[in-house]
Amino acid sequence: MDQSIVFIDLGVGGMTCDGCVVHVTKALEAVPGVANATVDLASRSAVVTANPGVATEALAAAVHATGQYNAFERRRRPASNA
């Protein structure tokens, strides 16, 4: 099993309610290689737990594909530093 996991911090735009949080979370978790996503409405951000091969563009594209939201990568942290 691949032990290599990263946390990817995202900024997320366009969310106005808890329903938005659900939509963005589902979109991120549908990206292959993503283990889970924690999306926060108040701070307009998300933390994605994923394998390191997951590209920023794939996460952004998944969120854009919802048609309402935007996501961009802030930084990646190795899971050991969490």
Partner 1 sequence: MPDAFDLLILGSGSTAFAAAIGASELGARVAMVERRTLGGTCVNRGCLPSKNLIEAARLVRDAAHPRYDGLVPAQLVVDFPALIGQKDQVVRDYRAKKYNAVADGMSDLQILDGSAAFDSPTSVSLDGRTIAADRFLVATGSRPIVPKIPGLDSVPYLTSDLLDADEAGRLTDLPESLIVLGGGYIAVELAQMFSRLGSRVTIVARSGLLRGYEPELGATLSEVFAAEGIEVLANTRTDGVSGNSQGVAVTVETPTAGRILRAQRLLAATGRRPNTDDLGLDQIGVELDADGYVVVDAELRTKVAHVWAAGDVIGGQHGSQMATPVGARQGRIVAENAFKGARRRVDHEVIPRAIFTDPPIGVVGLTEAEVKAKHFPAVSATTPLKYVPRAGAIHRPEGFVKMIASTIDERILGVHMIGESAAEVIHEAAMAMHFKATIDDFIDLIHVYPTMSEALKIGAQAFRKDVTKLSCCAE
Residues contributing to the site for partner 1 (CB under 8 A): 10-14, 44-45, 57, 60, 64, 70-72, 74
Asked whether the beta carbons of 35 and 4 are under 8 A apart, the reply is no
Q: Between 3 and 81, whose beta carbon lies closer to partner 1?
A: 81
> In 30-82, where does DSSP find H-type helix?
56-64
- CA 6, CA 48: separation in Å to the nearest integer? 8
Q: How far is the CB of 3 from partner 1 (least distance, A)?
A: 28
Q: Between 2 and 75, whose beta carbon lies closer to partner 1?
A: 75
Q: How far is the CB of 64 from partner 1 (least distance, A)?
A: 7
- Tokens 């938005």 belong to residue: 20
